[in-house]
Chain A
């Protein structure tokens, strides 16, 4: 049942074809056998998972419905706050912190019957595109262990691709779900900003962060999204609209839809990826969609705008890690020394770099030149999309400029930042976006394409992703490592 769909697993548990405990043990055994090499998990909660699975089985035994995700084992990116289970955000500074509460998305998964297996590796505070910024360990790509799984939700993508959980949750601030999903050959969706509550998600850049699922199929993604979307009064930026009904979207087809392909998204990309986008476009055309060229002229400013806004917000959000109330504390003597030593020892190089960038951008007298200017660019990017959506229903593009690159390959931070060049604009505009596996590179590495939708229109994104998934024929491929 390891490779079965989320729906099939839940059905099997509900009909007692398999017990939740059996299913959970199967994944736990795989984790024990394989994750030493892969590095997807930062913490495995065997006892908690078995206890949760037992409760699901008891629920079934009583003739009650444990929910649509009954007994389905899930892995959580380690930025999700989990009651009683260490949450580090991939950072040393939170080492040893045991949260007293569950975040909303986690609580919703539990309420739907899902079984939390453990916490997944990620770049520190979700800052990175290769998972190499994890303070704890390297995470590898199951398709090629010398390569990155992508990031920052690298562990979330790798674990799903390797069959070390049925599905996972990640977060996406500039592409952190879609980029690793593309590199690991799984489906990843970042819903509309505000669709999923951020309550209980360690913040990176509040105006950009969004929770989403990484799954092995578009149908799985739809099912998980239904469980975690919806208004949450504890998140003031949460949209008021109720959770969308998405179950039928993946198979609804694209007949009559207009798909836009941005002319600006060509440029410096791997030819096999360009070909994959062309192939996806052909699939959609064949399925009855109208494919047109669109223009997103301000996209070229997305990267610089993002690297002002995200670090500015991060420098603010990370101010709370001061060694006073939780996490590690270093330094003797005065308060300033405790701050310096704790933050010096607790944060990694990339986090420090972004805190410095953000602090610089917010200095008195520089606000207008940096943060405010970046917000103006952001408004223009948003307007680009609004204009595009006047003529199309969804947008098709590459997810990444290249397939998974080798670990240690990106020498400079700027080169690493370019890995997100196609995904950033979506976050700046707050739109829903997905990456769906669309092809294989000659190297055997997966290639994903990105689908962006209108605000709150996850349904159309899933329709387009479903159509590509059905025709691309890469869905049932599993990395050799996983077998």
Chain B
């Protein structure tokens, strides 16, 4: 039994997450500079970002609308009047000496986000709050020098804070996936974790199974991939269990997750914690959310992931795992919907889903492409499935056709017409070929009839080979069975 599994027998993990998601506005939260990943260091700055004397922040309203979309999607209570606060700390990547955030009057409170449980089913996770804030710059340390890049400084973020009610590292990772999916559906963030557009801090504590009281927590910072969320939390659970089992106590502290070493290190204890000296920002008036703004947000809400999942299962009779796969990215779900529409029959949904997740998904995955870059359109997939449905081509032939569609972008109908592809499903024609095959392989016929059933595939293959793969597998199989019996 692993250390973690042993730990989990005695201890129940209680996990809360604080997730930062960068909003996809064109300019910064309180400054005119553009936001662009990968620009030369410090090229995306201006007097406000540099905190030059005399500069003032002005709030980018686009960020508000985006945050409201998340608030509505998570059924949060939205404050008609929220407020920005200054959170003070000295660090070179924080040019003003404070970060503009929200403190006691956040934009959203008491929301929920449903996560998909790996074993099936869902869990509704309470959100304590969602608030707006600005990002800091990036520090890197090179020997005796420290370098600061302020390109990211001032980018708008939402911080999503969950209640401490995630029960495992898997659930923590699933929460991240659910939030990632949600913000992409809402179109408010690309949430690319590799670009730091989504980052997570995790509060982890253990309590003896059966107890209600929360244990002392440690905060893990700097978690920046789905995989690391799970690893970091698992590591922390094991670390705390080891201490508790050894009769020790957990120190309330902030720990830094080092993904390279797969370990965490103490950053500061509770006593060393910053006093952020929160102050309502006197440069920024309260943030008002009025009726027309809310109406506009509500009116333009897309279908959300869980609703889509329900619809795929309910209307298209998809199996849950396949439906989960399809809703993972909004573009993929849209692709599936478009394919059904192009095909015209809901009954083809399962077949379409299979083609999209298996053949297309496999090919895209192999080539590192996303569904947005797919050379195969939803109409192509629909046409391919129709050709199978009406018996024009076999499933096997369809795979060959698919490969060409994928490579060349030519439509399946055009390929079929050009190559005269048509499966042979006339039993008389197939019987003629089958008899030729049998005549050429008397030993195998004898062996099969003597009970070597596995040779059946040999005959099917031989017929296929003789017809250039055009024989209907079903008819071939029927005919062979009759002739060989």
Contact = CB atoms under 8 A, between A and B. Distances in A.
Contact of A236 (B59, B88, B98): B59
A236 B283 contact: yes
Interface stretch (B46-54, B253-261, B262-270, B315-323): B46-54
B167 interface: no
A324 B94 CA distance: 11
A359 B278 CA distance: 10
Contact of A320 (B53, B56, B284): B53
A100 interface: yes
Interface residues of B, number: 31
Given A236-B283, A371-B279, A320 B95 contact: yes
Contacts of A101: 47, 52
Contacts of B279: 312-313, 316, 362, 371
B95 A203 contact: no
B97 A363 contact: no
A322 interface: yes
Given A319-B96, A339-B90, A206 B282 contact: yes
Interface string A234-251: 111100000000000000
Contacts of A315: 277
Interface in A63-118: 79-81, 87, 89, 94, 97, 99-101, 103
B54 A203 contact: yes
Contacts of B284: 236-237
A199 B98 CA distance: 19
A320 B283 contact: no
A33 B95 CA distance: 42
B56 A198 contact: yes
A335 interface: yes
Nearest to B86: A316
Interface string B131-167: 0000000000000001010000000000000000000
A320 B97 contact: yes
Nearest to A318: B97
Contacts of A359: 277
Contacts of A198: 54, 56
Contact of A89 (B53, B91, B95, B276): B53
B54 A234 contact: no
Nearest to B50: A325
Contact of B58 (A206, A234, A326): A234
B47 A100 contact: yes
Contacts of B96: 319-320
B372 to A, nearest CB: 37
A81 B275 CA distance: 32
B55 interface: yes
A235 B275 CA distance: 28
Contact of A103 (B54, B57, B91, B98): B54
Contacts of B391: none
Contacts of A207: 282
B53 A81 contact: yes
A201 interface: yes
A48 B56 CA distance: 26
B294 to A, nearest CB: 22
B92 interface: yes
Interface of B: 47, 50-59, 86, 88, 90-92, 95-98, 146, 148, 275-279, 282-285
Interface of A: 79-81, 87, 89, 94, 97, 99-101, 103, 198-203, 205-207, 233-237, 312-313, 315-316, 318-320, 322, 324-326, 335, 339, 359, 362-364, 367, 371
14 contacts: A202-B53, A203-B53, A203-B283, A206-B282, A234-B58, A236-B56, A236-B59, A236-B283, A237-B284, A316-B88, A319-B97, A319-B98, A335-B92, A339-B90
A-B residue pairs, 5 tightest by C-beta:
A319-B97, A362-B277, A207-B282, A206-B282, A81-B54
